[in-house]
Amino acid sequence: MRKKMPLRLLFVFLSVALIPVLFFSAAMQLYTVKIEKKDMEKRVEGNLNTSNQGLEMVFEKYTTILYDLCTDKEILNMVERIEAAGDEEDENTRMLQYRLEAICSRYEGLEGIMISLTDGGAVFYDSLSSSSVSSPWIERQEIPEVKKGNVYRGISEPVIDNEKRVYMFQIAGHLEQSGSEGESRAAAAVYINEEQICKVLNGSGYRQGYLLDGERILSSASKADIGRNCGELMNLEENHYACILNNISGFTICNIQPVKAYKDLLQIQYLILGIIVLVSVFVVSIMAYLIKKPYQKVVNDYVDAMNRVGRGDFTIQATEKTRIIPDMGRIEKEFNRMVLYIRRQVELGEQASEEQKRIQANTLEAQIAPHFLYNALDMINWKAIENEQYEISEMLGMLGDILRYSVKNIDDMTTLRMEFQWLEHYVWLGNVELSRKTKLKLQVPEELMELQIHKLLLQPFIENALKYAFLNKGGDDILMVGVGLAGGQIHITIEDNGRGIDEGLLRKLNDETADMGEHVGISNVRKRLKLYYGEDAVVYFESLLDSYTRIHLFIPCETAAWP
């Protein structure tokens, strides 16, 4: 009977201990598998959204280039003169070819531009062959009929450039000129290197996929797949496929998610579950065998010591129990070390509390300086009014407003309305400082005025324009700021009619990795944009010497009402 009792107790102990452990382990494994499945689905959804946003940004960029081309008055006048002359070799044709060449050289990935005339002729520039006279590929392209808006088309036939196969995308639209009713209109098309699309579809990690027109592949990491039917390439056993429609182009983005890693994870989870079962049985059996009555007294002693620590007595130290249970020496050592650590942490907490009080006192003292400055400005303002120096009074008032706006919570959000009010004061003071009469014009729909952006994002661009854009330039100085919505983002343009930017500096401004030298403000704006918005924010410059400089800023749209 005495021999059977320990075995019975061991069996009961194993049953009581193992059943919850095994149940919990199995539940955790199943939950982990479920979580991994959801994680894969979220990863696929995230990859699709990332690819779609990237594709929209690429198409927005080149659509903007096409729009600027189709609305450029100088280019429109050239086209009209070419069509009126009926001679493709006249001076207007050469001038138009030079303009197309300049546009192509300005933007990466823009491999060609073609303008089709109403008489069936065409003027083009081929960046691959650097030619406006002949091209092995662009002359064979046709601009599709454009009924409304722009037409997006993927070209499956590759262009051979230095023994490399290059695939193109075409974006076509009408020039803003038309003949009499019933006549055809001149159209333009830009040709984009497919690599620009491939980059946004095939990012780091598991993000890879196709761009489809129906079932036909237009873009792929493997160029051999372009032009083929995607159904022929799908392997449903090894990959998971998910699609999303790109609203701008009408193309379909197909994300490819390998499932091998998921299947391998399932096998590993089941293997881990089996190991847990075996290890649990072994460990619990050993523990049940080693448990003896002396442990109860030792446990009670430690519970009492823990209770005293819980009541705030950190002087307690565990007494030596190694003679009763030799294995308890390490527990005693760690317990005593834990109590010492907690005591030190309490002391550090008390010190930190005192330090916090000191910092708060210093902060209150530091607030005296800005208040003193504002009060001093107010006193000077009243002195100016007493002496009828109203212009100086107005300058002091605006300077005080600018200081309050820029110093207080610089990283806060503000509305476009508040930002533009501040910019108007800033430009006014800048005109006084530089003895200029620069006009600030706002082209912002009233319904967008309450959109939110981070404070002082636009100030470095305005400051650069005031300092450099109008040097040694006659005529009216105009600084124009426009706001619109583009693909779920706020599109802000800042344009001046100044002397423009040379091509070398323009390339540096559009290169995020370039050393900006004295243009520290632009570099700081890029850093703030990455800090606030991550990769969702984009800024790029375009300029024409002695004509204009235009800055495009894309940031995520924040629609919450300003308090």
- pLDDT given for residue 480 in this prediction: 92
pLDDT band of residue 359 (cuts 50, 70, 90) is very low
Q: Where are the alpha helices (DSSP H) in 465-518?
A: 503-509
Cα–Cα separations (whole angstroms), residue 235 to 223, 257, 258, 263: 18, 11, 10, 15
Q: What is the pTM of this model?
A: 0.45
Q: Tell me: the pLDDT tens digits for 196-252?
A: 888 888 876 556 888 998 889 888 888 888 888 988 888 887 888 889 999 888 899
Cα–Cα separations (whole angstroms), residue 556 to 384, 391, 452, 484, 489: 44, 40, 10, 12, 5
Q: Tell me: the pLDDT tens digits for 459-514?
A: 888 888 888 888 877 778 899 999 999 888 999 999 999 888 888 888 888 887 77
Nearest of 487, 450, 478, 447 to residue 547 by alpha carbon: 478
- pLDDT given for residue 16 in this prediction: 66
User: What element of type H or E holds 262?
Assistant: helix 260-290
The percentage of residues in the chain with a pLDDT greater than 70, rounded to a whole number, is 74
Structural domains in the chain plus CATH codes:
33-278 (no CATH), 411-556 (3.30.565.10)
- pLDDT given for residue 516 in this prediction: 65
pLDDT band of residue 178 (cuts 50, 70, 90) is very low
The percentage of residues in the chain with a pLDDT greater than 90, rounded to a whole number, is 15
Q: Tell me: the pLDDT tens digits for 389-399?
A: 666 666 766 66
Average pLDDT, the chain: 78
Residue 550 and residue 497: Cα distance in Å, rounded? 9
Residue 266 has pLDDT above 80, yes or no: no
Q: Tell me: the pLDDT tens digits for 125-141?
A: 999 888 888 888 888 88
Residue 26 has pLDDT above 80, yes or no: no
498 or 285, greater pLDDT: 498
Q: Tell me: the pLDDT tens digits for 34-86?
A: 777 777 778 888 888 888 898 899 999 999 999 999 999 999 988 888 888 77
Nearest of 272, 271, 278, 280 to residue 16 by alpha carbon: 280
**Location of structure tokens 């598998």:** 33
- pLDDT given for residue 347 in this prediction: 76
- pLDDT given for residue 394 in this prediction: 67
- pLDDT given for residue 179 in this prediction: 46
Q: Tell me: the pLDDT tens digits for 416-440?
A: 998 888 888 888 877 777 777 888 8
Tokens of 172: 């076509």
Residue 390 and residue 393: Cα distance in Å, rounded? 5
Helix, strand, coil tally for the chain in percent (to 5): 55, 20, 25
160 or 562, greater pLDDT: 160
Nearest of 528, 526, 553 to residue 542 by alpha carbon: 553
Residue 208 and residue 221: Cα distance in Å, rounded? 8
Residue 453 and residue 459: Cα distance in Å, rounded? 13
Q: Are strands 439-443 and 478-486 parallel, antiparallel or unpaired?
A: parallel
Residue 142 has pLDDT above 90, yes or no: no
Selection from 155-159, 210-214, 239-243, 378-382 with the highest mean pLDDT:
210-214
Q: Where are the alpha helices (DSSP H) in 291-415?
A: 294-310, 329-366, 368-386, 390-407
Residue 338 and residue 351: Cα distance in Å, rounded? 20
Residue 229 and residue 225: Cα distance in Å, rounded? 8
- pLDDT given for residue 541 in this prediction: 92
Indicate the residue type of 123: V
Phi first, then psi, for residue 36 (nearest 5°) are -65, -40
**Burial label, 553 (beta-carbon count in 10 A; 0-12, 13-18, 19+):** buried
Strand partners, 213: 216
Tokens of 146: 């454009």
Phi first, then psi, for residue 33 (nearest 5°) are -60, -45
531-544 per-residue burial string, b: 16 or more CB within 10 A, e: under 16: ebbeebbbbbbbbb
